Amino acid sequence: MAETATQNLSVLPEDSPSDDKKPPSVPQIVFVNYENESQINDVMRLVALDLSEPYSIFTYRYFLHRFPDLCIMAVDQTTGDVCGCVVGKIDLETVASPTILPTEESLDGEQSPADQPLPTPVSPQQQQTGYIGMLAVSKLYRRQGIGKALVKQVLQRMEDRGCTSVTLETEVSNKTAQELYQNFGFVREELLVRYYLNNSDAYRLRLWFCR
Amino acid sequence: MPESNIPASDGKDLPETVGHDFQPKAAMVDITTMLKDAASALTFESPMIHTDSFNLQDSMAALEIMDQKMDCCEVPASAMLIEPTEQQNDKDERMIFPRPAPTGLDDVIDALPWDELTIEDAAFIALENVIRLESLLSGSSVVESTYTCLYSHKVVLEDMHKRLDPCMSLTEQMKAIMQTPTQKGTMAQRSVFASTLLLVELTDLVRGVILNADIYEEEDFGTSTFNIASFRRPSEGFTLKIVLDEISSIEEESTKLDQYDNQDALEAIRLTLSFQKDLMVAVSSLARLSGKTIRKEVEAAQQSIKSAKKKLQDSVPIFARLKEKQSDSVKVILRRTFDPFVNRPLVGNSPVRTIVFRDAIDATNEMIRMVDEVDWCVCKVILKANSLGRIRRMMRPVSSESANILTRSLLVLNLYFDELIFGQYSLPEMIVRYMRQLSHVPDSIVNLPTTDAFLNRLCKPVYDTLKLMALNRNRQRSYLDIMLGDWSALREEAYIADMTNHQDSGSHSELQPHFSVYVISTTIELMDNYVDLGVELELLCNEHELTIAYWYRDFLLSSLLTQLNTMRRYKLDAKKQVHQDAEQFPATVSGGKPQKGGKKKGKNKVSVSNGASNRTNRDDLSITPTVEDIEEEVEYLFLNAKRFLCRGIVRFFVSLNQAGLIKENSFDFTSNEIIYQKRFEPFIDIHQPPYLTYDDYLKGSDFTKLTQNNLVSASSDSFGVAKSLIDQALKHMSKLDPDFLPIQVEEVKQLSKVCVANSVYLQRLKQLTVGGKTNAKLTLDMATHKHFCTIKLG
């Protein structure tokens, strides 16, 4: 299985245009793209072990077939084991933009509120929003920066594809995951009560890219 | 279906060894080429060979059949054991299909206990029904709660009814006419029937209330979602009659059984049935209030609720005794009659939520709490809240305590009906009285047509601010986002109304924009609530975000207090004027009472304008503060205290930053400025108060010119002022009706604790700074008060 996972896989390039976009390096770990169905079992195995929500094979295929470039796997170079993966997608989201306020030049400080020009409303827009569906790292390989590296890479790709923000859900009790994402600048956007099948609550986190 | 490249076969192409009567042991045919040809003919639009009765979704579902995680009908065999034995927990445990829904009492799979039911069984079945009811009210769907009781299924109830109905045969009907009714069945059977009927009746009632109130947006947990047929009651009042008959039958039986072992069981059944009956009567009544008898009906409902609560409380020790001596046979009966998996086939082939029931004691205590909520959240509010200020104060705890969905639905259902608030008060009148309470709007303004028009315009937004408090805390924040836009737009209209009124009234005095001030102050309250909820829900949770939140709240509360001070000034000026006039012209100004002779003059002139009638000056201008004045004063003091608390916390955080104990984060993909902008995006559209930018925040929180000592002292002073304001408010609170308090006594103590604790930790910070230490452990504690953190330094 491990051999299948590493055959004919393209390892992510290390010589990227700038340091910011360079894939982070973790000793003995290479990061590879998802390329075909032969890798799906590795992804399913990792995710099923760690995440409480059950997913069918169709859910995995929905992500992986439509957005293969948003699935990145971490492979141990010495053993060939797939030890981590991240799976994402991109959706179109309708966002109500804030009203355009009058600029300073258009305002006269002595005008009464009634005389000030009214704000111009802007119609709702469709924007690309990334979504991180699954992130899993084998227990034996944790605390080495693999999760952080996977998230960084998938965020980079989502930004490169024009996303304005990225969302995900994580269990309220999962402090480790929240800390990981908050270090990237994700903030808690909403509390989702009884979101998971085990009746636990979740936070929806969101990161807004700088534009 | 795509055109197939597979050649049609009439059997002639088959190898000789394979005939039409195909024998399994005959040679196999290699169909690889055939399959490859078929697969290559498939397209994205037509992804599989299918028929009308079997499509892609069916094939996907079929592949998940018997998958332990995905197939909702894969149930661990140990969970279905009737006889309790050691359960297996390993992942290789055998999975089986859950039992189907019963087809009647004599179900072919497993007949439901009936002939063998004892009084003890009936008592525990009644208790389990209460647990199901509690689960339903806590948010489970009907398939996860009510209909896990096998007796509650329609066919079983019909069966029970048939067996227990004394009038089914002609002889029995004759006896009923002769008024010699016979009771069929045993007491245990009748009790189970009554208890289950009540469970189903309450389920339908609760569902109806919640759907009509329309504040619950999650899945419809009604029976129609899952195509469960509900037992049709033969007549109006059927359930109540059955239950009342059974209760009196039990009471009669109890008198005969002095020292009988079953006394506890009988009493437990009686109390449980009475509790459910009282709850049903109260909720039914509160769900259809109307007409002139509202207060009587609510008072009667309140009595029923109190009775229900008492009965449930009384049942707790009895069930505790029964549980101690519960026999194994009862446990078997319960496992045969309650099955959490029976409805699995109804939820489709998908993973299902874990069904969890509280244990009996927890469920009963939770049920007692929910029933009590109906009293103080619904009945008391309808009966006592007679002004807008009091409605807000009484509804605030409903919001902050996250009352049960049934309670909040009943409150919303009754908030505005028959075109009146709580079916009793005109909303425009209430708004005017409230504005007068805060700032004294003169008659010359109140009685103008423009005022009428604007008040009518205000009704919906004001109603929304009340309804907001009936939503759960999470939904309130989302809804506030929308409401802020509405209130921001109202500001323009308020200003126009003020200007028009000023001109129409012919007044030469300075413009007092009463409506503008009122709209702005309400807008600021909503904004403050928005930020506050972010802290309470822990959406804003780290040091940096909390600093910003409290900084913004300091600004909002200061703006709100400015508006309130303006209103208080108007009122004070008006009072002074009235009393000056009274001293100068005592004969002509009566200060609020009608003149003799029936003709009303001066400030008591009753306007004939529609909707403005009865809006006369009352004793709201008397020198002696009224009870409502004191209530508003207490609210004002707490707002001020909270402002200083926010200020103190901000300075505390800044001190920590200056001491190097907290550091600002920087990010690869985003920035603190972007986060700030997005966090406060709902405020961008609001002109007053003006939106504060991230630069404003940086400047406003820049205390670099202050030394660490001065900053710590300033923070400590803020906590000190907050504490003294709280103490001041506490003195006034003792004079007030507890139901009208703007803040509960418990919360006051919490706020005090936060002030004191933060002051103590500030001293700790001082010590650390003097000692040159920069690595103390920092903890943000929201346990003392969910809106104001205690910053603990280890």
Residues A38-66 have pLDDT tens digits of 999 999 999 998 877 888 888 999 999 99
**Closest CB from B354, B496, B685 relative to A198:** B354
Least confident of A89-93, B286-290, B344-348, B751-755: B344-348
pLDDT for residue A122: 52
CA distances from B317 to A107, A199, B267, B309, B322 (A): 72, 30, 11, 14, 9
How large is the average pLDDT for residues B536-564? 96
A116 touches chain B (CB under 8 A): yes
Q: What CATH number is attached to the domain comprising A87? A: 3.40.630.30
What is the nearest CA distance from B669 to chain A, expressed in angstroms? 5
Which is more confident, A205 or B97? A205
Given pLDDT bands bounded at 50, 70 and 90, which one contains residue B165?
A: confident
Specify if B608 maps to a domain: no
Q: In which element (H, E) is residue A93 found?
A: strand A82-95
**Quick check: A56 and B685 CB within 8 A?**
no
pLDDT digits (tens, 9 = 90+) for B432-490: 999 999 988 888 888 888 889 999 999 999 999 999 999 988 889 989 988 999 999 99
pLDDT digits (tens, 9 = 90+) for B248-257: 999 988 887 6
Specify if B603 maps to a domain: no
Given pLDDT bands bounded at 50, 70 and 90, which one contains residue A103?
A: very low
The count of C-alpha atoms lying within 13 angstroms of the C-alpha of B290, restricted to the half-sphere facing its C-beta, is 7
Specify if A115 maps to a domain: no
Specify if B490 maps to a domain: no
Specify if B280 maps to a domain: yes
B688 and B491 Cβ atoms separated by less than 8 Å = yes
B782 touches chain A (CB under 8 A): no
- Best mutation target, A58, A112, A115, A127, to test chain B (most B CBs within 10 A): A58
Q: Which amino acid is at B513?
A: P
Q: How many domains does chain A have?
A: 1
User: What is the Cα–Cα distance from B561 to B558, expressed in whole angstroms?
Assistant: 5
Which is more confident, B584 or B138? B138
Q: What percent of chain B shows pLDDT beyond 90?
A: 60
B124, pLDDT greater than 60: yes
Q: Give chain A positions within 8 Å (CB) of B671.
A: 185, 210
Which is more confident, B310 or B255? B310
- Closest-CA residue to B565 (of B621, B535, B520, B532): B520
**Closest CB from A56, A155, A191 relative to B669:** A155
User: What is the Cα–Cα distance from B752 to B744, expressed in whole angstroms?
Assistant: 13
Say yes or no: B336 and B199 in one domain: yes
User: Can you state the angle between helices B514-536 and B543-584, rounded to 10 degrees?
Assistant: 150
B664 touches chain A (CB under 8 A): no
What is the nearest CA distance from A66 to chain B, expressed in angstroms? 13
For residue B352, give both structure tokens.
């299902």
Specify if B168 maps to a domain: yes
pLDDT for residue B172: 59
Say yes or no: B229 and B136 in one domain: yes
Say yes or no: B47 and B124 in one domain: no
Q: Where is mean pLDDT largest: A13-17, B352-356, B605-609, B749-753?
A: B749-753
In sign, the C-alpha dihedral spanning B81, B86, B90, B92 is negative
B66 touches chain A (CB under 8 A): no
Q: Give chain B positions within 8 Å (CB) of A20.
A: 668
User: Strands, DSSP E only, in B48-97?
Assistant: 75-76, 95-96
**Closest CB from A99, A116, A189 relative to B685:** A99
In sign, the C-alpha dihedral spanning B158, B163, B164, B170 is positive
- Closest-CA residue to B436 (of B496, B389, B501, B382): B389
How large is the average pLDDT for residues B19-47? 74
What is the nearest CA distance from A78 to chain B, expressed in angstroms? 30
Given pLDDT bands bounded at 50, 70 and 90, which one contains residue B258?
A: low
For residue B325, give both structure tokens.
């001596």
A19 touches chain B (CB under 8 A): no
State the pTM of this model.
0.85
Nearest residue of chain A to residue B671 (CA atoms): A210
**Quick check: B684 and A118 CB within 8 A?**
no
**Quick check: B539 and A114 CB within 8 A?**
no
CA distances from A71 to A11, A65, A152, A158 (A): 13, 10, 12, 11
For residue A2, give both structure tokens.
């491990």
A101 touches chain B (CB under 8 A): yes
**Quick check: A197 and B69 CB within 8 A?**
no
- Closest-CA residue to B350 (of A190, A55, A155): A55
**Quick check: A207 and B670 CB within 8 A?**
yes
User: Strands, DSSP E only, in B240-306?
Assistant: none
pLDDT for residue B83: 57
pLDDT for residue A194: 85
**Closest CB from B474, B542, B685 relative to A193:** B474
pLDDT for residue B227: 78
B211, pLDDT greater than 80: yes
Q: Give chain A positions within 8 Å (CB) of B70.
A: 54, 56
The whole domain housing A180 covers 7-95+123-208
**Closest CB from A156, A192, A208 relative to B674:** A208
pLDDT digits (tens, 9 = 90+) for B404-428: 999 999 999 999 999 999 999 999 9
Say yes or no: B137 and B268 in one domain: yes
Say yes or no: B201 and B318 in one domain: yes
The ipTM estimated for the assembled molecules is 0.83
Specify if B504 maps to a domain: no
Domain boundary among B375, B397, B415: B375
CA distances from A185 to A157, B83, B320, B545, B781 (A): 16, 54, 52, 11, 22
Q: Which residue has the tokens 């920069």?
A: B774
Specify if A104 maps to a domain: no
**Quick check: B539 and A155 CB within 8 A?**
no
The whole domain housing B156 covers 119-375
